[in-house]
Amino acid sequence: MTKSWSWEKENLTWRKPHFMKREYELLLHGQLVASLRQRGWFPVQAEVFEGPEAMEPVLRVERKGWWRQKLHAKTLDYRFPQMPPADLSWRGEAKFKFDNGRSYSFHPTNFWQTQWELCDSQGICCLSIKRNAWNSGGEVVPGAAHLSPEEMRFLIYLAWNIIIMKMDDQAAAS
């Protein structure tokens, strides 16, 4: 676990440090705060680790289904919200509903799916993500919505995982 999680209103950067590895790092001012590692091929399972020396994941995410896909998120950290499986559209759009009653929608904002937005149930932007053209990372910009630090981290991890899945789908299609 990192010392401080006071980055909820700071811009963050996802990067892929190794070309051949299926791993991404979340950075704040150049410091590692979390990493997302994929394993398996069918289905791909992603695990999120917080901090530079974390040995145990805090979140495990998996996409299941062929035509009607669902995103399954298993929280392994008691501070994160619980979420039933969420429907995923072919474009990567998803609606998350948490056990605390809050709900969010995640969708691309441009045709090429390089810009994404996550909004709360009132349509207020919680965060926007812009991935770079070479699929090696992206920038996370927190929005105007007020979220708990745990919910914000959870949403950042879920959103980036969906973006990675869509990048993989686009690469396979080409």
- CATH assignment of the domain containing 101: 2.40.160
As for how many domains the chain has, the answer is 1
7 inside domain: no
In a domain, 144, yes or no: yes
What's the domain range around 121?
Answer: 12-173
Residue that has been written with the tokens 């995982």 in this structure: 161
Q: Tell me if 5 is assigned to some domain.
A: no
Q: Could you tell me if residue 2 is inside a domain?
A: no
Q: To the nearest 10°, report the CA torsion of 121, 138, 12, 47.
A: 80
- Does 21 map to a domain? yes
Structure confidence at residue 2 (pLDDT): 41
Pair type for strands 137-142 and 69-75: unpaired
Residue 64 — pLDDT band, cuts 50, 70, 90?
A: confident
- Render the burial of 55-71: b for 16+ CB within 10 Å, e for the rest: eebbbebbbeeeeebeb
- Which residues, at least 6 apart from 147, have a Cβ–Cβ distance to it below 8 Å? 8, 126, 155
Does residue 1 register a pLDDT over 50? Answer: no
> 6 lies in a domain?
no
Share of the chain above pLDDT 70, in %: 90
Does the model's pTM come out above 0.85? yes
Report whether pLDDT(84) > 50: yes
In a domain, 3, yes or no: no
- Position 1 in a domain: no
